[in-house]
Amino acid sequence: MNVKSDRVGLGRFIATARSAGQMAIMIVTTIIWATCGLFTAPLPYRMRYRLITSWTHFNLWCLKYVCGLDYEVHGRENIPTGPAVVMSKHQSAWETMALQKFFSPQVWVLKRELLYLPFFGWSLALLRPIAINRSAGTEAIRQLVEQGTERLQSGAWVVVFPEGTRIAPGQRGKYRAGGALLAEKAGYPVIPVAHNAGEFWGRKQWIKWPGTIQVRIGRPIDPKGSSAAKIRDQVEEWIENQMLEISGKR
């Protein structure tokens, strides 16, 4: 499937203008929401979560109506009623927002440096993310398993990007076993997610191209009787096969 629209000439000019408007809105709303979010600290977690993440819903609305960037989801019926470990393809900043629409409340596994950002990072910390030091090795894995298990038991979904960083469309990163190890140790299912957001909002790019992002949610993977390596391999196989189908390469 060819997801590219006219990206030269007038098409590029329009996309650039619309993206500039959306970026301005995002910057302003980030400042407002992040600042106001600090005042939610005394509130119960779920109320705090709803108020802070309303920023996400607003900005997804802006992406649709300002940039013409929408999404289509297949596999909603595969989402269980209880929390699980979500292991998703990572191509863009888009999925860090959009996954909140499908799995809520959720926490993210992210690099701890993000929490140091004034206002934004401070508000982010109120959402109880699992902020790891990527260079800590086994200590980071231990933290992921311990804090991830606690978050799951409290009713929150845990979102992990197994490739660790954003990967350009058509490329494939090395899948790591951290999320799979969490599922194995905690006993919660894994939900694989594939999407092609990078085709419209690329890595380290601010222009958003109009179109419809394809999101596919897979059936839960039961960790019982499986090793972390086996779970990781199942997730990788499913996601990458879906990516080939979405791109029309199979």
Tokens of 224: 């019982």
The amino acid that residue 206 corresponds to is W
Q: Mean of the pLDDT values across residues 67-96?
A: 97
| pLDDT tens string 93-125 | 999 999 999 999 999 999 899 999 988 899 999
What is the pLDDT at residue 1? 45
197-245 pLDDT per residue, tens: 999 999 989 999 999 999 999 999 999 999 999 999 999 999 999 999 9
Please give the distance of CA 21 from its chain centroid, rounded to a whole number.
23
Please compute the mean of the pLDDT values over residues 34-41 and round it to a whole number: 95
**What does the pLDDT read at residue 136?**
80
User: Of 196, 190, 204, which Cα lies nearest the Cα of 235?
Assistant: 190
* Cα 65 to chain centroid, rounded: 21
Say which residue, 6 or 99, is predicted with more confidence: 99
Whether the model clears a pTM of 0.85, i.e. scores above it, the answer is yes
Domains along the chain with CATH numbers? 10-247 (3.40.1130)
d(CA 186, CA 217): 21
pLDDT score at 126? 95
The pLDDT tens digits of the residues spanning 127-163 come to 999 999 878 888 999 999 999 999 999 999 999 999 9
Q: What percent of the chain has pLDDT over 90?
A: 89
- SS3 per-residue string spanning the chain: CCCCCCCCCHHHHHHHHHHHHHHHHHHHHHHHHHHHHHHHCCCCHHHHHHHHHHHHHHHHHHHHHHCCEEEEEECHHHCCCCCCEEEECCCCCHHHHHHHHHCCCEEEEEEHHHHHCCCHHHHHHCCCCEEECHHHCHHHHHHHHHHHHHHHHCCCEEEECCCCCCCCCCCCCCCCCHHHHHHHHHCCCEEEEEECHHHCCCCCCCCCCCEEEEEEECCCECCCCCCHHHHHHHHHHHHHHHHHHHHCCC
